[in-house]
Amino acid sequence: MVQQHTPMIQQYLKIKAEYQDAFLFFRLGDFYELFFEDAVKASQELEITLTSRDGGTRERIPMCGVPHHSASGYIENLIQKGYKVAICEQTEDPKHAKGVVKREVVQLITPGTVMDGKGISAKENNYIAAIANFSGQTFGVAYTDLSTGENRVTVLDGSEDLLLDELATIGAKEVVACPNEDEDLLRKIKERCQAVISYEESSHTQDEFQPILQKLNTAELQESAQRLLHYLKKTQKRSLDHLQPFAIYENNQHMKIDFYSKRNLEITEPIRGKDKKGTLLWLLDETSTAMGGRLLRQWIDRPLISKNMIEKRLLLVELFIEHYFERLDLQELLKSVYDLERLAGRVAFGNANARDFIQLKKSLMQIPAIRSLIEGMENEETDKLAQALDPCEELTDLLERAVAENPPISVKEGGIIKDDYHTELDQYRDASRNGKSWIAALEKEEREKTGIRSLKVGYNRVFGYYIEVTRANVKLLEEGRYERKQTLTNAERFITPELKEKEALILQADERSIELEYDLFLDLRNQVKEFIPRLQQTAKIISEIDIYQSFATVSETRYYVKPELHFNRELTLENGRHPVVEKVMGSQEYVPNDCMMDEEKEMLLITGPNMSGKSTYMRQIALTAVMAQIGCFVPASKAKLPIFDQIFTRIGAADDLISGQSTFMVEMLEAKNAITHATKNSLILFDEIGRGTSTYDGMALAQAIIEHIHDQIGAKTLFSTHYHELTELDKQLFHLNNVHVSAVEQQGKLVFLHKVKDGPADKSYGIHVAELADLPQSLIQRAEEILGELEQANGKQKPSVSVKAAAKESAVISRSNEQLAFFSEPKESAVDKHEKKVLKEIEDLNLLEMNPLQALNVLFSLQKKLRN
């Protein structure tokens, strides 16, 4: 006989088959139970005890479980680790069940659909995105924050890299794709974005989606948005009324900064660690509300390229700086404004409690005062902001009348609704609170009516409340009003219509009171739901106001200036500073630097020793441009900037171990990205390009890249290098200028001045930097000896004009007048015919077409010939 699982386990397996990629939390009584592989894995991840149970077969089934009342903490833990959790509840009363109690999955919780808890940060959006792939060259991308209801959609025309950069910018925690999507693309998404991949085939239109899809008029826009909505409907299984209409945006409406450039510049994420300290976001975030913090991150991720929009923001920041006292009052008011966006989301989602309503009421009560403050600034733009603020007086009044000031967290235990809000509820409460006093009053009243002084009102569990009268006094009772309930030896017990009615109230008051309160709360929640669009609009305006006061506070505190933006080629920064480094330095004095570029000076070639501040100088130019184009004042005493359409960087060197790419390959890929996509209106920062390979190759590539950008692209470019030979390029490239970060020797020690000056650096000070790094003194001395010998042997040969010329003129390459040279130019009198032949071979070499391995083999061959 074939053994079968028990009916309950069969039910579990049937439901689990539909949720293979999720932990199934299966409700059994007061516990959520997990079975089979789910139990084994969950016990490890959650560090809970793994047990087993009889499932109807010979082998016992692995099992673990968590209490229902504390399950949320365990679920959050799994979600934070990137798992999905399917919540399976009993959907039938066990008392009425015929066989196994009916159970259904009521919600699938995923990293992209978390609504609250530790897995969701107050000042960060929690986005879930969906993609539609049209032949690998056009992609539809739709994304939403389920907790706030924000919806956006765009179409990207280009390579997969454009899609990967967009998803990384969004910061999507989960990406929904078609089941037959290219696996290689999904792997790249998972690696680049650290996102969970989910699948949804449906992407057709449904009537219920029409209100939020009405602006989408192309298949590319519609398919990704509809795929996302189908997935949310299928997984959440509840109202999504708070989802806002999809806002269409175009990628070219904002300054583009690719994933690697954002990382290099540490705009929102630090290169190392997870703490936001040390990022531009950390510097600028003086917001008082969670909504403002989230919008600030969105602004930083997508700087503007519209001059009018930028100047509008700058004007408002300027107004907030000028109105200092109003700004202080505003900051205090904003501290009392809770997260209206997520409160509205919780209301629509059906998981808002009474404390959420109190937060909502307190927030709305601040709006009139905020509106008054903004109107007081007396400007057309501030007036627009003030008029857009909706205090929702009707909602505030409703919540004030309905909700108790200190309600419990649970919505099913009573204590939520205020007195005088609902007549029936008041009766139940009155019966519950005043039942004994009412009974005493009834007893007194009945004695007076009947004249029976021994009459009493009593209670027992069997018969409930009664009026007890001795047999001798029964004749004094009013006929027809008293109904006999029980006969005793010496007395009769009666009940009156009034007592009968009150008995039902008193005995069932608590139970019915709690039930009625819950019903009233659900009705109240539905009433609040009607205000969601108005709440979301007010939340948007509050968020903007919060950012303006944040920018004003940072700009005033740190002595930033209002930038002047234009469409010509001038870039003027006087006394510019790196905003983040300056803040981190605290009381230490930051050395400011100028940057002057125009149509005659499009490229700066930056030289100077390591640690002197070349990279910092380059980064501060880029961060200043970002700050200006998000509408913030900038760290300088004067700033005139062009509007950049893109920023590209290659700063720092680190192997991409995940994809198996070397430092040099990453360097070349990032260079290629800039060269391929940059325009004349872009900003390019290249830090020591070419150092990841041999000297010849590196220098050749560096020069070729400089020439290509100079001749073919014309973008504003800052290029730092240790190849001092490249400083001669200013004689050939008319838009290139040399600058250097200065350093001096004092008593044999290197002192960094961190000041950028015109012209090339005269030294690299490599050994001095090694000494600063505390390398052994004996090693330093030996290095100086070797350097002296090599310099003497080479006669301190001056660098040649270019790499090509160096190859033709005997391959003499040196880093500076006092830096290592790799080949000596022998004196003619000491060269025999054999050596001349070798030198001729060197002259004929085409170094630019060799890879490092080929160059090494040729070098070895030449060395062998010379030794022979």
Nearest to 299 by CA among 285, 319, 318: 285
Buried b (16+ CB within 10 A) or exposed e, 94-113: eeeeeeebebebebbbbbbb
CB atoms within 10 A of CB 87: 20
Q: With both helix axes pointing from N to C terminus, report the angle between 367-375 and 324-334 in degrees, rounded to the nearest 10.
A: 160
Residue 533 in marked binding region: no
Q: Are 573 and 733 in contact (CB under 8 A)?
A: no
Query: Is 555 known as a binding-site position?
Result: no
Q: Return the closest-CA partner of residue 10 out of 42, 57, 59.
A: 57
- Long-range contacts at 426-434 (CB < 8 A, ≥ 24 apart): 427/505, 428/505, 428/509, 428/510, 428/512, 428/513, 428/516, 429/509, 429/513, 431/502, 431/505, 431/506, 431/509, 432/506, 432/509, 432/510, 432/513
Sequence-separated (6 or more) residues with CB below 8 Å from residue 753: 591, 612, 741, 742, 743, 744
| Strand 483-487 versus strand 491-495 pairing type | antiparallel
Q: Which two tokens stand for residue 783?
A: 């290095």
454 annotated to a ligand binding site: no
C-alpha distances in Å from residue 788, one per residue of 166, 626, 773, 812, 819: 53, 46, 21, 17, 9
Give Cα 791 distance to the centre of its chain.
54
CA 569 to chain CA centroid, Å, is 34
654 CB neighbour count, 10 Å cutoff: 10
8 A C-beta contact, residue 112 and residue 128: yes
665 assigned ligand-binding residue: no
Distance of CA 686 to the CA centre of its chain: 28
Give the span between the Cα atoms of 711 and 727, in whole angstroms: 17
Helix (H) or strand (E) holding 493: strand 491-495
Are the C-beta atoms of 415 and 429 separated by less than 8 Å? no
Query: For residues 65 and 191, what is the distance between their CA atoms, to the nearest angstrom?
Result: 32
CA distances from 703 to 697, 698, 817 (A): 10, 9, 20
User: By C-alpha distance, which of 361, 304, 302, 367 is closest to 334?
Assistant: 367
**Does 757 appear as a known binding residue?**
no
H-helix segments, 678-776: 695-708, 766-772
Q: 378 in the Ramachandran plot: left (φ > 0), alpha (ψ -120 to 50) or beta? A: left
Is the distance from CB of 683 to CB of 649 less than 8 angstroms? no
Close Cβ partners of 95 (under 8 Å, ≥ 6 residues apart): none
Continuous segment of H or E residues that includes residue 663 = helix 663-677
Structure tokens at 465: 């409340």
- Distance from C-alpha of 716 to C-alpha of 597, rounded to nearest angstrom: 8
Q: Does the annotation place 73 within a ligand binding site? A: no
Pair type for strands 646-650 and 683-687: parallel
Q: Is 692 annotated as a binding residue?
A: no
205/214 Cα distance (integer angstroms):
11
Phi, psi of 597, deg, nearest 5: -140, 150
Coil/strand/helix, residue 464: strand
Q: Is 99 annotated as a binding residue?
A: no
Tally of CB atoms within 10 A around 612: 26
- Helices and strands (H and E) in the chain: how many: 29, 27
Which residues are CB-neighbours of 776 under 8 A, at least 6 positions away?
none
User: Residues within the annotated binding site for ATP?
Assistant: 608-615
User: Residues within the annotated binding site?
Assistant: 608-615
